Amino acid sequence: MIRIINRLTVLPRYIVVLIDQFLIFFSVSLAFLLRFNFNTDIVLEYNPFPGVVAFLLASLFSTFITKSYAGIVRYTGIQDGLRIVRTELLSMVLIVAVNLLYHYNVGRNIIPFSVVFISFFISSLLLYQYRLLVKNVFTFYKGGHRSKVPVIVFGAGVAGFLTKQALESDMTSQYKLIAFIDDDPKKNGKDINGIKIYSVDKLGELAKKFKAKKLIIAIKRLSIDRKNEIVDEALSHQLRVSYVTSFEKWIRNNFDVKEIRDVNIEDLLGREVIRLNNSAIEADLTGKVICITGAAGSIGSELARQALTFKPQKLILIDQAESPLYEIERELSGKNLQTSLVVFVADVCNKERMRRIFSEYRPQILFHAAAYKHVPLMESNPSEAVTVNIFGTRQLADLAVEFKLKKFVMISTDKAVNPTNVMGCTKRIAEIYVQSLDRYLELMGKSSKTSFVTTRFGNVLGSNGSVIPIFKEQLQKGGPITVTHPEITRYFMTIPEACELVIEAGVMGQGGEIFIFDMGKPMKIYDLAKKMVMLSGKELNKDVEIVFTGLRDGEKLYEELLNDKENTIPTHHEKIMKAKVSEYQYDEICRNLDLLEDFIHDRNEHKMVTLMKEIVPEYKSNYSRFQVLDVTS
């Protein structure tokens, strides 16, 4: 018997229809007996045969109309029950119509109306109950009788109920639900189909009592802060934490535990959904020619994805990284959008190459994301950082003016604030140049001038060189996880969120602004590493160690979004603020940049960095060979 059930996967439809018809026949027969108090003589005197046949035919017709046989019986759920009720209601309507016609022609009913109504209730109940019986038999013999891992579900609402259904219905599920926990005190002590609901503060007690191994978060809309609190509480009791990615399939009775996946660190560092001013963005981007430099990078590629949704006329992607540029081209081309996609392998420092691109395609909006960003590498190669981050930006800004671009949006970094490294200082000087250029054009009375806007934010999750992919790789290898310093702290933002804010800030900017983003609360990298270890199900210092390697060249413990002399002005978007910064004269910055360019050609790194420190007085080197320049200055 068990072997037959294990081989049987889906009950054939014709069998389902035959069983349904048998149960409907039984329901009508029982209805006749109930109507006439089980007096078979009266039943036979009434001649029930034509009525039973009519009812069976009406039910068979209704079955094929509503396809009540189509559901997989072992996945029976609420939707199947509703489909059965609809089928039987249609059968009842049809038999009532037949009854009325029969009465009109013959003078009596083919089947008593009372029998029709009794049959409706009996057949609806039997058809649904037998499906549930088959489902339970399948569940038991295909794994339900085996030992399973005890789990607790957070959320005792509709989503929690669906999670229970999924765990019980999916034959591959290794989990057994033993308790619900919920924030709503009104649910405390109640149960859902025999599974009791407890308050959240009972989590530790339940985990110990039932030897639970996992907590599943089953709430559709849970704030990031509350999610972090629940995850921290679960991890403190050595519980793995998962969540339901989507309830859509489950609502359609397609119960698959693959919709339950482990919580990862990105889920806990993300923030609430951003509300964008889509009408203003559409007005600014739709039908325009948009150019993105650094388009193969983490930020540039996401900007390209999001820009496409606003249907620009043309999207120009520029990067010197051939392979990743090819990948983003393939991805975007596969979307089959109306936007014309143009891709260039090009160096933003190649003036003639960039001029030809601008001359031929006449971009209207430029998102400048091309830059060298790795702090230790740029500390070792300062002339490259200066060439790309400063002079590449200067060249593009000048071309934007020459070809009358509407807007130039520069992507900067929090490392430009009180910089302690070459990379951060080059980005600050680039900020200074584009801002002073905007002010210069305004003073010159350029009525149709290019508007230069700068956006400044911190680390983005999952970007090239981000600590999270590095930590994941180290975890997969069994450790150790390397952290530079126990107190090192960073801001984090997801790549999509950062790009949404870049686009919003670019649209709202009128020219000359430096916009900073609300990065939320900073997080210690050590705490981040610890949480990643715990989320992976490993035990810190037993399965995986965290090793401190010391700050790298140019690194600082804490990142800032504004220096001490700066403050912010709010904008209409609660997550975007305008920085009030020290402004520079355009002629002065141009003279300094010309001198800086001479030092690059002379290959004199110390003179070059010394001049950078003069341009940006708050630039103080940290853990760097250039610290000697601060001592002697």
Q: Could you give all domains of the chain from N- to C-terminal order, each with its CATH number?
A: 2-141 (no CATH), 147-263 (3.40.50.720), 293-460+493-520+577-615 (3.40.50.720)
- Angle (nearest 5°) at CA 200 between 196 and 205: 75
Q: List C-alpha distances in Å: 340 to 286, 311, 325.
A: 13, 10, 16
List, as one string, the DSSP characters of 284-327: HHTT-EEEEETTTSHHHHHHHHHHHTT--SEEEEEES-HHHHHH
Residue 181: Cβ-neighbour burial (10 angstroms; 0-12, 13-18, 19+): buried
| Amino acid 607: pLDDT | 92
Residue-level pLDDT at 227: 87
Percent of the chain with pLDDT over 70: 83
Peptide bond into 480 cis (omega under 30): yes
CA-CA-CA-CA torsion for 482, 483, 485, 488, nearest 10 degrees? 170
Among the listed residues 288, 415, 427, 531, the single catalytic one is 415
pLDDT digits (tens, 9 = 90+) for 6-37: 444 555 666 767 777 777 777 777 777 777 77
Which residue did the predictor score with more confidence, 96 or 499? 499
Query: Parallel, antiparallel, or unpaired for β 289-293 and 314-319?
Result: parallel
Q: What is the pLDDT of residues 67-88, one digit of tens each?
A: 665 555 555 555 666 677 777 7
Q: What is the pLDDT of residue 566?
A: 56
Rounded-to-integer distance, Cα 505 and Cα 575, Å: 10
Interval 454-460 mean pLDDT: 84
Tell me the mean pLDDT in the region 172-194: 82
Query: pTM of the predicted model, to two decimals?
Result: 0.70
Question: In terms of Cα–Cα distance, which of 265, 613, 306 is closest to 466?
Answer: 265
* Predicted pLDDT of residue 6: 46
In the predicted model, is pLDDT for residue 563 greater than 70?
A: no
Q: Has residue 541 got a pLDDT over 90?
A: no
Which stretch of DSSP H or E encloses residue 576? strand 576-580
Grade residue 347 by pLDDT with cuts at 50, 70 and 90: very high
* Cβ count within 10 A of residue 258: 10
415 an active-site residue? yes
In this prediction, residue 423 has a pLDDT band, given cuts at 50, 70 and 90, of very high
- C-alpha–C-alpha distance, residues 558 and 491, integer Å: 9
